[in-house]
Amino acid sequence: MQNGRHRPHATSATDLQPASGRGPVPANNRRVQRKKNGNWTDAQLEKALSAITNDGLKIREAERVYNIPTTSLRNHLWRTTNGRHRGICPTLKHDEELKLVEFIFKMQEIGYPLTPTDLRVKVAQATQARQTPWSATGLPGSGWLRGFRRRHPEISLRKSQELAVARARNMCPATVAGFYANLEYLYSLHNYPESHIWNCDESGVQAAKNGGATVLAKKGSKMVNSITPDHREHISVLSCINAAGGKIPNFYIVKGKYFTANHIRGCEPGAVMGVQYNAWMTKFLFESWIAHFLRNLNKGPGVSQQNRHLLILDGHTSHVTIEVTKTCMNNGIDIVTLPSHTSHALQPLDRTCFAPFKAAFRRIRDDWIRHHKNTKVDKSMLCEWTSKALGQALTPSNIKAGFRRCGIWPLDKTATLADMGPAEGFQTEDNVAASRDAGDAEDVEEGSDHEEGYDGEGGLRTSSAARLRSPSTDLREVSSPEGDDGEENPEPFYYVNVPDADESTHEVQDRSVNIDPDFQTSLHLQQQEQNFNSFLALPEVILARKRKRQQPLLDFTKSKILTSESTLMHVSNF
């Protein structure tokens, strides 16, 4: 009996088990209930604050009337709390954190994403006139960053990808609109089926392993080594896909001057091999690939003036020659070039195919090296790895996704709007003066997967060991920007000075001076808000000055239909 009342008590075998040798422990059937708080709504809080502010109701009386604790009423009345939450109030106000989130998203959109350290420095600079928990250390700690991300789950950590200034500037609405206009014109004129819309591009791989891979190792290890082949053998491969998810056998370019062996014996049937001094694509090799492309079309759906095909490619100098253009026109192939420096967003192979290809190639290469430690990697093995990796990457789903994400098939002019954010930081005189296509003539595409190469000793080898020789006459380029002295001038037309997101030295100012402790005055609050907003300024839009120079034969900063009569007449009359 306890306090005059009997309390029933039930025991079990587990209740009487000894705990650490101290004998049986009686069971306790009392339920531990968590403290319940916050049993009020936002509407009740608004009514209570209105009654206190307008009607003169006392805080204690409001607690009894609206069932809201006095501490909550005081916090919301004095604006030390924003919204309903438990624990310590955040240092930044709710609206300030929303501005900070908007600033983070905008910096990501224009191509200057913030790292966690950059964000902490920004917050320290914006709050240096306040008394904050990090006033002594200088920067917000990792705990503040975790709390900020917890309060805003829409923010995530991602690995950024490098984007060249030329690509950021050219991927603008004015440039992309011309490409989609050419597609729309050809679609309405010839009504291609999806199996007749093609895209081709080169990529390169090497035998040496890429450094910096994340591996498993013993904790505390100072150095983790990864064995790689001694030589750096590399090859290039040209792939071609269509919007229906189909593809043709690949075109492999190995490094060399003469054919010494059939290096593609382990590749897919119908593959073609060419040799070049640096394993680069050249004008003669691309003409040979056009012949390979026509042979595969004639084996399948066929190609003619009545059964036309569309080929989309970049404006590299090895792709745009008079011989290639005439061959395609005579055989019923229409060619549309991508605007310069936009292949990362407008080329299906770059969007969804080459990244899985490189990942699959690294897996195949690393697995082979792990099981063949003392075996030398030759060109045949490299071609075989490339063929296997392309077979895993160029799947119908990946191919169709690439055409869809680029807005090529089905035609969608809004598919690449998200990729045009970095172009907001650049403006050309033509855009400012007359809303025309951005920029004037610029250098031809300088893709990461192919470069201008040696063009004197190109050769071609098919699976039937056929040998082609380079023609004696030089091929005339459709587009070769030259300087006044006749030599190629790789200098850009625009000199753009883009400031950093913050030109300050990222040093936190000395806070040894006395700060006004009165944070309730409107003047001080206004100064704080102005100081906070001033550190969230976006980079300025810089006007790019156009430099006068000799105009090239064709302007490949914009999309071109090479197989049109007007383009060919313009080139022939030059």
Domain of residue 53, CATH code = 1.10.10
Q: What is the pLDDT of residue 257?
A: 87
Cα distances from 325 to residues 191, 331, 334, in angstroms, run 21, 10, 9
User: Residue 72 and residue 468: Cα distance in Å, rounded?
Assistant: 86
pLDDT for 459 beyond 70: no
Domain holding 319: CATH number? 3.30.420.10
Higher per-residue pLDDT: 485 or 266: 266
Residue 43's pLDDT band (cuts 50, 70, 90): confident
Higher per-residue pLDDT: 568 or 534: 534
Count of beta carbons in the 10 Å neighbourhood of residue 309: 25
Higher per-residue pLDDT: 63 or 442: 63
Query: Which of 10-19, 273-282, 561-570 is predicted with the least confidence, judged by mean pLDDT?
Result: 10-19
pLDDT, mean of residues 503-526: 42
Each residue of 71-124: pLDDT tens digit?
A: 888 888 876 555 566 666 778 888 899 999 999 999 998 889 999 999 999 999
Q: Are residues 51 and 104 in the same domain?
A: no
Contact of 114 with 104, CB cutoff 8 Å: yes
Q: What is the pLDDT of residue 555?
A: 63
Q: Are residues 395 and 481 in the same domain?
A: yes
Higher per-residue pLDDT: 139 or 482: 139
Contact of 230 with 206, CB cutoff 8 Å: no
pLDDT for 253 beyond 50: yes
| Most trustworthy range by pLDDT among 338-342, 370-374, 497-501 | 338-342
Torsion of CA 419, 420, 425, 429, to 10 degrees: 150
Percent above pLDDT 90 for the chain: 41
Q: Are residues 185 and 325 in the same domain?
A: yes
Q: H or E stretch including 571? A: helix 565-572
pLDDT, mean of residues 136-146: 89
Query: Which of 172-181, 410-419, 502-511 is predicted with the least confidence, judged by mean pLDDT?
Result: 502-511
Whether residue 213 is contained in a domain is answered as: no
Q: What is the pLDDT of residue 433?
A: 39
Higher per-residue pLDDT: 196 or 489: 196
Q: Are residues 421 and 520 in the same domain?
A: no
Higher per-residue pLDDT: 243 or 215: 243
pLDDT, mean of residues 300-304: 91
> What is the residue-averaged pLDDT of the chain?
76
Contact of 111 with 516, CB cutoff 8 Å: no
Each residue of 343-363: pLDDT tens digit?
A: 999 999 999 999 999 999 999
Amino acid at 438: A
Percent above pLDDT 70 for the chain: 68
Whether residue 21 is contained in a domain is answered as: no
Q: What is the pLDDT of residue 320?
A: 87
Whether residue 112 is contained in a domain is answered as: yes
Residue 8: is the preceding peptide bond cis (ω within 30°)?
no
Q: Are residues 260 and 272 in the same domain?
A: yes
Whether residue 222 is contained in a domain is answered as: no
Residue 38's pLDDT band (cuts 50, 70, 90): low
pLDDT, mean of residues 215-237: 86
Q: Are residues 391 and 315 in the same domain?
A: yes
The two tokens of residue 310 are: 């569309």
Q: What is the pLDDT of residue 525?
A: 56
Domain count, the chain: 3
Q: Is 338 helix (H, G, I), strand (E, B) or coil?
A: coil
pLDDT for 442 beyond 50: no
Go through the chain and tell me how many residues it has: 574
Alpha helices in 127-264 (DSSP H): 142-151, 165-170, 173-190
The two tokens of residue 256 are: 């060399």
pLDDT for 33 beyond 70: no
Q: Report phi then psi at 242, rounded to 5.
A: -125, 170
pLDDT, mean of residues 469-496: 34
Q: What is the pLDDT of residue 437?
A: 42
Q: Name the burial class of residue 190, with classes exposed (0-12), middle (13-18) and buried (19+) by CB atoms within 10 angstroms of its CB.
A: middle
pLDDT for 409 beyond 50: yes
Q: Are residues 155 and 275 in the same domain?
A: no
Q: Name the burial class of residue 72, with classes exposed (0-12), middle (13-18) and buried (19+) by CB atoms within 10 angstroms of its CB.
A: middle
User: Residue 570 and residue 130: Cα distance in Å, rounded?
Assistant: 67
| Most trustworthy range by pLDDT among 88-92, 386-390, 414-418, 566-570 | 386-390
pLDDT for 1 beyond 60: no
User: Residue 142 and residue 119: Cα distance in Å, rounded?
Assistant: 11
Q: What is the pLDDT of residue 76?
A: 81
Q: What is the pLDDT of residue 116?
A: 94
Q: Are residues 370 and 264 in the same domain?
A: yes
Q: What is the pLDDT of residue 509?
A: 38
Residue 531's pLDDT band (cuts 50, 70, 90): low
The residue among 535, 270, 558 whose CA lies nearest residue 387 is 270
Higher per-residue pLDDT: 355 or 129: 355
The two tokens of residue 418 are: 């998200």
Whether residue 6 is contained in a domain is answered as: no
Cα distances from 110 to residues 292, 342, 493, 499, 539, in angstroms, run 42, 16, 22, 13, 9
Q: Are residues 85 and 98 in the same domain?
A: no
Q: What is the pLDDT of residue 24?
A: 52
Q: Are residues 84 and 106 in the same domain?
A: no
Q: Are residues 306 and 452 in the same domain?
A: yes
Q: Is 159 helix (H, G, I), strand (E, B) or coil?
A: coil
Residue 39's pLDDT band (cuts 50, 70, 90): confident
Q: Are residues 447 and 509 in the same domain?
A: no
Strand ranges, E, within 417-479? 426-428, 459-462, 467-468
Beta bridge partners of 255: 276
Query: Which of 10-14, 221-225, 345-349, 370-374 is predicted with the least confidence, judged by mean pLDDT?
Result: 10-14
DSSP secondary structure code for residue 209 in this structure = P
Whether residue 25 is contained in a domain is answered as: no
Q: Which domain holds residue 510?
A: 91-160+502-537
Whether residue 366 is contained in a domain is answered as: yes
User: Residue 354 and residue 361: Cα distance in Å, rounded?
Assistant: 10
Whether residue 567 is contained in a domain is answered as: yes
pLDDT, mean of residues 128-147: 87
Q: What is the pLDDT of residue 80?
A: 57
